[in-house]
Amino acid sequence: MLLGELQRTQGDAKGAIQTLERVLQQAPNHMAPAWFLTMAYLDHGRSDQARALLTGMRREFEKNYLWRHAWAILLAVEGNREEALQFMDAETLKFAKLTWSATSTTADFYALQGDRTKAIEWLQLGTARGDECVEYFGRSLRLQSLRDDLRFQSLLASVRARRK
């Protein structure tokens, strides 16, 4: 599963999908690989596959915060702003603050929703909690709307400086 996520953040969405589909085949009732696979599908421009995956798991996992988080991001990608907010509610955000894989990714959600300030706040939280994948942040298509924002550029620069 981690290999799939590494492939995805490296830009190899197709390889990530192959890896994560295999993991999910072996752990079919596990939401974590499904969450990573959703992100890989979205990176690959296959929101239809992401939707099919999450819809198939909805009955069992609708109350699961990872499912709700992934579903909210999918809805945001699809442009369903209001419905997306219903799933990225206060309880899901509480979860996202505690989970290493979800914290920075919540910035994707807000960037897609057009709320750059909140997106940057979530990225700041993610980096403060130890997620220093700034190269990926700079490349991420879902964070594209932040690239010309000085706060975003400054955040990436500060993490790079901290690493040196």
Binding residues vs other proteins (CB under 8 A): 1-3, 5-7, 9-10, 22-23, 25-33, 35, 60-61, 64-69, 91-92, 94-95, 97-101, 103, 128-136, 163
Which tokens is 1 given? 């599963």
Shortest Å, Cβ 115 to other proteins: 21
70 vs 77 by CB, closer to other proteins:
70
37 vs 114 by CB, closer to other proteins:
37
Q: How many CA atoms lie within 13 A of 104 on its CB side?
A: 23
97 vs 114 by CB, closer to other proteins:
97
Shortest Å, Cβ 83 to other proteins: 19
Instruction: Determine the distance from the C-alpha atom of residue 132 to the mean position of all C-alpha atoms in its chain, rounded to a whole number.
Output: 15
Shortest Å, Cβ 44 to other proteins: 18
Q: What is the C-alpha separation between 85 and 111, in angstroms, rounded? A: 13
Shortest Å, Cβ 149 to other proteins: 20
Shortest Å, Cβ 96 to other proteins: 8
6 vs 85 by CB, closer to other proteins:
6
56 vs 79 by CB, closer to other proteins:
56
